[in-house]
Amino acid sequence: MRLSADAAIQATTTTLRKEIQSAMEMPQVRPGAVKSPESKLRVVAFFHNAAEGNLAIQILTSLGTPNDRLGVTPPDQIEGGQGMILSIGCQDERTLAKAEDVCRKLGGQLHRQRV
């Protein structure tokens, strides 16, 4: 009885593997050169106090920075469990200067980054 159960499990496993392999498709490769997008400006600011980071987010969104351009690393993911890292994607130098000014006034340590 035990042999037939093991054989049934093995047959089922083999069948599942074949189904999975047949379900996967080969990726399509399209010919042609891929152009790199223009480098984007980004400001990364570290706030020792997460409340200052939250205020920076509110001010930046009120100034017109879209929410999808803001990246947040919350305190629970930072060593020591306090503070906030805010990453702000900027479209141009003017927006970059505005974001830097807001973060600097709220006590953020700034780092510029080109992506």
HEC sequence for the chain: CHHHHHHHHHHHHHHHHHHHHHHCCCCCCCCCCCCCCCCCEEEEEEECCHHHHHHHHHHHHHCCCCHHHEEEECHHHCCCCCCEEEEEEECCHHHHHHHHHHHHHCCCEEEEEEC
Q: Which residue has tokens 């083999």?
A: 14
Give the start-to-end residue ranges of the domains of the chain. 41-114
The topology under which CATH files domain 41-114 is: Alpha-Beta Plaits (3.30.70)
pLDDT in tens, 15-61: 766 666 666 666 677 777 766 666 578 899 999 999 999 999 999 99
Q: Look up the pTM and report it.
A: 0.63
What is the pLDDT at residue 28? Answer: 74
pLDDT in tens, 53-100: 999 999 999 988 888 889 999 888 888 888 999 999 888 889 889 999
